[in-house]
Chain A
Amino acid sequence: MVENRPLTNFCSHAVLIFAIAIIAFPIWITFVAASHDAVRMTQTPLPLLPGDQFFINLKDTFTQGVGNAREQSVGLMLMNSLIMAMMIAVGKIIISLLSAFAIVYFRFPFRMGFFWMIFVTLMLPVEVRILPTFEVVANLGMLNNYWGLSIPLIASATATFMFRQVFLTVPDELLEAARIDGAGPMRFFKDILIPVSRTNIAALFVILFIYGWNQYLWPLLITTDKNMYTIVMGIKQMLEAAEESPEWHLIMMTTLLAMLPPIVVVVGMQKLFIKGLTETEK
């Protein structure tokens, strides 16, 4: 910045540190709660500093389960979340790449019609068409399985738009050169287009993985079989149980586990994440 005023600089840092402290406070409390035993977690005031039960709680969470979600293991729920998130992310990327390729590189009847049809999906989040979509999935026999969890969510207008944008910036000369070299459409797609959009694909993957992992309403609707529960749903079940027999130390441990994968992805792939976020949404 232009001015160099030590006091203003100090204040800037103070504001940021204070904000980070406030924002991190819930997480800190969660971590603290996950590191105490059941007895300590029923006495007010609750502790503000971590205890020594963290690894015992971690083990208990995996081996015994929590609350009325006791019958299904936390490990299984994590696995379900991972499978769902991966299927959604990979599925969205594949079908968006294909349709963006068709729309940018071919001239065919109904091209714009298809384009608008894809655009519509942007306007209809799951939340506004819950019941009829549920009926469709039920009629197709896709309740309580991974297909039902992921396929209805993999149509993506944003991803298609982004790839369209990326493809439009690929110089025409590349296609001309490929055609002179004798490459057909799919060869061009595989050998040239996919490699040049590598970073965009990776950036989008980060966003979509988090989107998939954090799905809540949809799994809530279509899974009744406890073996198909995802971790995010599982937390809800535990919270309900907490009203009778609070096992906050285990619930908070599970919450930590549910937050961890997406946070690791976001923080670990920060650059890609920010690129993906600011480029897809604009």
Chain B
Amino acid sequence: MAEVILEDVVKAYSKTEVIHGISTTIADGEFIVIVGPSGCGKSTVLRMIAGLEKITGGIIRIDGQVVNKLEPKDRDIAMVFQNYALYPHMTVFNNMAYGLKLRKFGKDEIKQRVDQAAQLLQLEGLLDRKPRQLSGGQRQRVAMGRCIVREPKVFLFDEPLSNLDAKLRVQMRLELRKLHERLKVTSIYVTHDQVEAMTLGDRLIVINEGAAEQIGSPLELYEKPGTKFVAGFIGSPAMNFMDAHISRDGQWALMQGDIRLALANGGVPRFGGQQVIIGIRPEHFKIIVKGPQSMLLTVDHTEILGADTTVYGRFADTPGLITIRLPDIHHFKSETILPLSVAQAKIHIFDRETGARI
């Protein structure tokens, strides 16, 4: 078990820089999730920690030791790959024992460790099978087992659940979380699935185009997204964004269709008179009695999901559809006008140019 520290880590392929300096400290025993859209560089970060990619700049420390120049096997880490990377010609037992054999563990010790891991992962009956005779979930567990037996300082996960079907994914997600609570090994987990990220991580690192947009607990990211990108990436359905104009005194946001939103906490006087972007999550709209504060949504269509209803519509002439999510079942005809309101605290304001939170 160990702390992992990234100091201004940079990765470049010949001249193109793909990771632009990421710094963070991952505490001992923490479960951290690196999340971002595909191609953002999140796997590259993980592979640099693993030692599978050279580190172009910056420093990575594991348990206080700088590992930049160490080969993967000397970093005392274990990794679960997206396709599991089980050795197809070896039995489940040998797959798990391979790393121990290479580290010259005694036969009894190997057997004891593998048995223990197999028991933990409910693989006892499968030790003599070859990977191809296993189901997706079982392969996933073997890949986990291969990591556990080594008792490494850090677990690395590279989208380990993405090859499973939806139901199994939810189940394995739960098992992973429980496993982490038992073993308390520092874990770094890469995924593009924000639901996985929110449910698994103690903290999340949101990566976009090779840079860390925000690092924080799932709730922090949800309630106070640091940038427009994070706001749009975390949460489903995604946050609505609308152009707005801040009143001169900074107390109001004015939008097309004569919508005036009062801003919380004394407003944003510094940005008085400027163009900004307003973000509101679909689930934060409420239907109210028509009044001066209400925003009038013209319904385009609705999707009734049972537990809740997603309504798509427009405010006056705004371009693009606005999504709102209402609990329970609602039947709205197209062109119905819904008066809505939003609590002041749930309104997010972003800089139009930089996308930074205001």
Contacts and interface: CB of A to CB of B under 8 A. Distances in A.
Q: Do chains A and B touch in the complex (CB under 8 A)?
A: yes
A2 B54 CA distance: 9
A57 to B, nearest CB: 45
Nearest to B69: A4
Nearest to B52: A2
B54 to A, nearest CB: 6
Contacts of B71: 2-3
Nearest to B50: A2
Interface in A1-48: 2-4
A2 B53 CA distance: 7
A108 to B, nearest CB: 37
B52 to A, nearest CB: 6
B339 interface: no
Interface string B28-70: 0000000000000000000000011010000000000000000
Interface string B62-92: 0000000001100000000000000000000
Contacts, number: 6
Nearest to B72: A2
A23 to B, nearest CB: 31
Contacts of B54: 4
A3 B51 CA distance: 8
Contacts of B52: 2
Contacts of A3: 71
A3 to B, nearest CB: 6
A2 B72 CA distance: 8
A4 B55 CA distance: 11
A4 B51 CA distance: 10
A114 to B, nearest CB: 35
A167 to B, nearest CB: 28
A7 to B, nearest CB: 14
Interface string B241-272: 00000000000000000000000000000000
A86 to B, nearest CB: 44
Nearest to A3: B71
A3 B69 CA distance: 10
A163 B51 CA distance: 45
Contacts of A4: 54
A2 B47 CA distance: 10
A4 B56 CA distance: 13
Contacts of A2: 51-52, 71-72
A2 B52 CA distance: 5
Interface in A110-165: none
A3 B72 CA distance: 8
A102 to B, nearest CB: 36
A219 B54 CA distance: 58
A3 B52 CA distance: 8
A2 B51 CA distance: 8
Contacts of B51: 2
A83 B72 CA distance: 58
Interface in A73-124: none
A2 B71 CA distance: 8
Nearest to B71: A3
B56 to A, nearest CB: 12
B46 to A, nearest CB: 14
B98 to A, nearest CB: 16
B67 to A, nearest CB: 14
A4 B71 CA distance: 8
Nearest to A5: B71
Interface string B282-325: 00000000000000000000000000000000000000000000
A231 B71 CA distance: 56
A6 B52 CA distance: 16
A5 B54 CA distance: 11
Contacts of B72: 2
A8 to B, nearest CB: 12
Nearest to B51: A2
B108 to A, nearest CB: 31
A192 to B, nearest CB: 34
B43 to A, nearest CB: 15
A4 B52 CA distance: 9
Interface string A220-260: 00000000000000000000000000000000000000000
Nearest to A4: B54
B76 to A, nearest CB: 16
B207 to A, nearest CB: 23
A4 B68 CA distance: 12
A121 B71 CA distance: 53
A3 B54 CA distance: 9
B70 to A, nearest CB: 11
B14 to A, nearest CB: 15
A73 B125 CA distance: 76
A35 B326 CA distance: 87
A3 B50 CA distance: 12
A38 to B, nearest CB: 52
A4 to B, nearest CB: 6
B267 to A, nearest CB: 55
6 contacts: A2-B51, A2-B52, A2-B71, A2-B72, A3-B71, A4-B54
Interface of A: 2-4
Would you list the 5 A-B pairs with minimal beta carbon distance, nearest first?
Answer: A3-B71, A4-B54, A2-B52, A2-B72, A2-B71
